[in-house]
Chain A
């Protein structure tokens, strides 16, 4: 087990560096020159050759004249930076955001918190609804209730999340006026304590609802398929033949076994929601989350911020895949991953 874990982590690290190198090279395709940005205002005050000399000096000061690999190593923190210290990603220096005029570390705190709250609440809710629903559908397969749920999930599963958001805004915010159309808190409010929490939840309700609805369809189908598969196994027939109660058969014999394929898709789904889904949701509802930060970073060509966020996303999905594999042993003791 330990050996396997070490192997996996090593593999994760290698992939992380491969991806980061790829990202860094892509990022360097952008024709941007920080030295030129700094020197441009001086172009009129200095003589051309003097300006060029200073410009080249600044470039070497900033380390821009080095080849890509060296710049990558410096950015990552493998090599001493131009000022002689190690100050890369590994040392916790995520770069400097041009649009916020602050280090990236300082700005990603609040959005990260918001995104995690949003995802946490919606994941818990989705799973709380999906798993019983999926099991119900599988047990009562081809009944009227199952067919109705299947038809509804096809709709939820096919529609893009932004379309669901627009529909939900129309129904719940515009027609029924139950929830606000966007934002994170009542504008201008200075609530504290419980009041602040409630206000926040009120504003989060609609985004969470959309995420739950969008996740519901796909997950219910997965749970149903996995359960259907397990329920057709011989050991279920045996369990029933033994005269076990139906509840025991379903929850203890079938569900434990169906959990394996389900856990894989839960993790995959959570990663995709955390990266893609929240990007759309946060933009639609103008929430200050990581997705919106990433989006605005790309729009304002604030690439150090974007690069840091991209690394964060990559790490999240790599760790997610690792956790999925590890969760197999938790879910199913028969799976021995160290072999």
Chain B
């Protein structure tokens, strides 16, 4: 009987509902009337409503992608907080640091010199090529090779930190690049070299704003910035120099008697204290940042100086070494049997010699900075090391991409934890206030008023400044989460309280009370689950707000302190016109991903609000 009545009732309803559904969603499609009539749980209705909004769905998908990216990528892109390199600052995005011109390889490589972020090569025709990040300043680009260098038949090149040196077959030395600290001021003897006293120059070298030239009769000439290094050469060593090696702030020579000596009058650097073993029997030397390597007659290598990244841990060679080259924190040696061995810092894979280079018969290696180039007997060029940074580096030489993903993880974690704290406090206090009413309600609501009447950002700043002074960076991060959570609960509290007022008079609560269920249980396991769906919108939007507040605090310098990255503090220095324009990659990527995330969260919140709105279903 009841069943029949039911079908009758639904038949009556069917007619207009059917029409409504058809007109709203399926204008031209027949719909099974029973599908609509099926009883659906509120959760499913909300879900269905939500997924009927294309913008909200796109926002949700985008947000999930960003969240997954930000939480998964840090396990692949690890971030060393202390890592920064003065030679890698403000590099533009792109993997072009090892993209040498094909023409160079085709014509046959004569010499390659690797500078901090760029490389110079010269081919058999004497043509000079520059590749990599060769922009030294806004105006000076080392790719702009001077015309006289282009016209000359160059045989050797040397790449300095912000200047380049080239030597042509007539013995003329050319310099170009930054000239503010005397990098281009050739000594008098070299300026007039091709005219009167003709000296045969056999080698040129360039390093951190200073350069060296060596003549066939063993004379050494140095020029450049004398602030880091004393460029005067002791007269005793002149005419005996066989080879010169430059480090960042020193230079060492190999004399014709096979000993390595410090040719300068001063001895301040640790590389200038030559070990006993390198006093004789050395055939070649190479310089790194703060260390020098000597290749001995027996084919072994000795390294000394300030070796912080394992440059001194020379591996066992399978054959005697015949050639040695130094990079920024690594050395590369060619063995007699053609094998290439590299050791030292392997941060940018500069020590991972590729298989094809090992198999080819290498005749010459050129290492420097974080890159290595090897020429095999067929004239092919092999290279390995740092290709570049996908999103560039910031003003301290840190990888923007690594900071972006790790900072995103930090920002999202802080936002999420702050929202969880906020929700817990808000739900508990709101539940109690709404259920019991009276004095408890009064006290809690006054407290909420006091907290919400306090100016939010200034208050967060003073709390973070005061509490954050005596703690570690990690503890300060937790403090930020707690501060954000504690200061923003009143919103959720008010909402829960208002819902509570409506719910506590409902039949199921009365029933629970009659059954003698404990009041705490009624509030938190009976009423709150019914209220939570309404809070969902507020929670979603509060997550966005927490992220915004955290990043604003970090931007102002009172959130998560540097060097720990967050999306906020990555943008801290970006309000300066130099960074905004010239180093745009410092702010564009992080700004874009942060902006998209915030927009997505707000769209999700809006979508949820519409989905939860009972009016949205037209019932």
Q: Using CB atoms and an 8 Å cutoff, list the residues of chain A in contact with chain B.
A: 15, 18-19, 23, 26-27, 29-31, 154-155, 157-163, 165-167, 169-170, 173-174, 181-182, 271-272, 275-276, 279-280, 283-285, 294-295, 298-299, 301, 306, 309-310, 313-314, 316-318, 321
A183 to B116 Cα, complex, angstroms: 37
Contacts A158-B595, A181-B577, A295-B556 given; indicate if A166 touches B587 (C-beta within 8 A): yes
Q: Cβ of B552 and Cβ of A160 under 8 Å apart?
A: yes
Q: Cβ of A317 and Cβ of B455 under 8 Å apart?
A: yes
Q: Name the contact of B544 in the complex, choosing from A158, A166, A182, A271 (C-beta under 8 A).
A: A158
Residues of A within 8 A of B449 (CB): 15
Interface centre among A279, A298, A316, A318 (most CB of B within 10 A): A298
Q: Cβ of A298 and Cβ of B601 under 8 Å apart?
A: no
Closest-by-CB residue of A relative to B598 is A158
By DSSP majority rule, is chain A's interface helix, strand, loop, or mixed?
helix
Q: Name the contact of A27 in the complex, choosing from B466, B556, B577 (C-beta under 8 A).
A: B466
Q: Cβ of B556 and Cβ of A163 under 8 Å apart?
A: no
Interface centre among A23, A166, A317 (most CB of B within 10 A): A166
28 CB-based A-B contacts, threshold 8 Å: A23-B462, A26-B463, A29-B467, A30-B466, A31-B469, A155-B595, A159-B598, A162-B552, A162-B575, A166-B587, A169-B575, A170-B581, A181-B576, A275-B456, A276-B457, A276-B458, A276-B552, A280-B556, A294-B458, A294-B461, A298-B461, A298-B558, A301-B465, A310-B455, A314-B455, A317-B453, A317-B454, A318-B453
Tell me how many residues of B have a C-beta within 8 Å of chain A. Answer: 44
Q: Check if B548 is an interface residue, CB within 8 A of chain A.
A: yes
Q: Cβ of A166 and Cβ of B571 under 8 Å apart?
A: yes
Q: Cβ of B580 and Cβ of A170 under 8 Å apart?
A: yes
Q: Cβ of B575 and Cβ of A154 under 8 Å apart?
A: no
Q: Which 10 A-B pairs have the closest CB atoms?
A: A276-B457, A275-B455, A158-B598, A313-B455, A158-B599, A158-B602, A284-B575, A181-B577, A174-B581, A298-B465
Closest-by-CB residue of A relative to B447 is A18
Contacts A154-B603, A169-B577, A298-B461 given; indicate if A160 touches B454 (C-beta within 8 A): no
Residues of B within 8 A of A31 (CB): 469-470
Q: Cβ of A299 and Cβ of B557 under 8 Å apart?
A: yes
Q: Cβ of B599 and Cβ of A154 under 8 Å apart?
A: yes
A165 to B595 Cα, complex, angstroms: 13
A88 to B555 Cα, complex, angstroms: 34
Closest-by-CB residue of A relative to B587 is A166
A63 to B595 Cα, complex, angstroms: 51
Q: Name the contact of A160 in the complex, choosing from B456, B594, B602, B603 (C-beta under 8 A).
A: B594
By DSSP majority rule, is chain B's interface helix, strand, loop, or mixed?
helix
A275 to B552 Cα, complex, angstroms: 13
Q: Cβ of B456 and Cβ of A272 under 8 Å apart?
A: yes
Residues of A within 8 A of B383 (CB): none
A65 to B417 Cα, complex, angstroms: 40
Contacts A158-B598, A174-B581, A299-B557 given; indicate if A26 touches B466 (C-beta within 8 A): yes
A244 to B511 Cα, complex, angstroms: 52
Residues of A within 8 A of B598 (CB): 158-160
A23 to B461 Cα, complex, angstroms: 12
A29 to B551 Cα, complex, angstroms: 25
Residues of A within 8 A of B437 (CB): none
Q: Check if B74 is an interface residue, CB within 8 A of chain A.
A: no
Q: Cβ of B453 and Cβ of A174 under 8 Å apart?
A: no
Contacts A276-B458, A316-B455 given; indicate if A18 touches B450 (C-beta within 8 A): yes
Residues of B within 8 A of A310 (CB): 455, 458-459, 462
Q: Cβ of B552 and Cβ of A280 under 8 Å apart?
A: yes
A181 to B579 Cα, complex, angstroms: 12
**Cβ < 8 Å to A, chain B residues 573-619:** 574-577, 580-581, 584, 587, 591, 594-595, 598-599, 601-603, 606
Q: Cβ of A19 and Cβ of B556 under 8 Å apart?
A: no
Q: Cβ of A167 and Cβ of B591 under 8 Å apart?
A: yes
A214 to B165 Cα, complex, angstroms: 52
Q: Name the contact of A298 in the complex, choosing from B462, B552, B602 (C-beta under 8 A).
A: B462
A166 to B458 Cα, complex, angstroms: 21
Contacts A158-B544, A174-B581, A310-B462 given; indicate if A182 touches B551 (C-beta within 8 A): no
Q: How far is the CB of A175 from chain B (nearest CB, A)?
A: 8
Closest-by-CB residue of B relative to A316 is B455
Residues of B within 8 A of A299 (CB): 557
Q: How far is the CB of A155 from chain B (nearest CB, A)?
A: 6
Closest-by-CB residue of B relative to A31 is B470
Residues of B within 8 A of A181 (CB): 575-577, 580
Q: How far is the CB of B410 from chain A (nearest CB, A)?
A: 16
A26 to B456 Cα, complex, angstroms: 15
Cβ proximity bits B538-580 to A, threshold 8 Å, 1 near / 0 not: 0000001000100110011110000000001001001111001
Closest-by-CB residue of B relative to A15 is B450
With A154-B602, A174-B580, A314-B455 given, name 8 new contacts (CB 8 A): A157-B602, A158-B598, A161-B552, A162-B551, A169-B580, A276-B458, A310-B462, A316-B455
